[in-house]
């Protein structure tokens, strides 16, 4: 992701998943190596707790009953 210059937000929109899910998936394989996990957690993007749901135009319309 660093070389491709794509952040968690772009990936989450493309995959239609939350950014927190992407972070969990990226850190899960590195739990066996604590050094790698520490490095990744230092690069972690700070996201508001409300970012657990994507705010796409479609999801906003559904919430407001505009569909």
Per-residue model confidence as pLDDT tens digits over 31-54:
566 665 555 554 544 444 444 455
Is residue 36 in some structural domain? yes
Is residue 49 in some structural domain? yes
Rounded distance, CA 59 to CA 12, Å?
Answer: 14
pLDDT on residue 1: 42
CA 22 vs CA 19, 52, 60: distances in Å = 5, 11, 22
Is residue 3 in some structural domain? no
Q: Which residue has the higher pLDDT, 21 or 46?
A: 21
Is residue 23 in some structural domain? yes
What is the residue range of 35's domain?
A: 8-64
The count of structural domains within the chain is 1
Q: What is the pTM of this model?
A: 0.20
pLDDT on residue 16: 63
Within 8 A by CB and 6+ apart from 8, the residues are: 1, 19, 22, 23, 45, 47
Alpha helices for the chain (secondary structure H):
8-15, 19-27, 34-43, 57-64
């Amino acid at each position: 992701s660093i070389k491709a210059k794509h952040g968690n937000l772009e990936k989450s929109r493309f995959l239609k998943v939350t950014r927190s899910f992407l972070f969990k998936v990226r850190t899960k394989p590195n739990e066996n190596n604590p050094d790698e996990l520490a490095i990744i957690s230092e690069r972690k993007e700070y996201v508001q707790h409300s970012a657990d749901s994507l705010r796409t135009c479609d999801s906003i319309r559904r919430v407001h009953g505009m569909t």
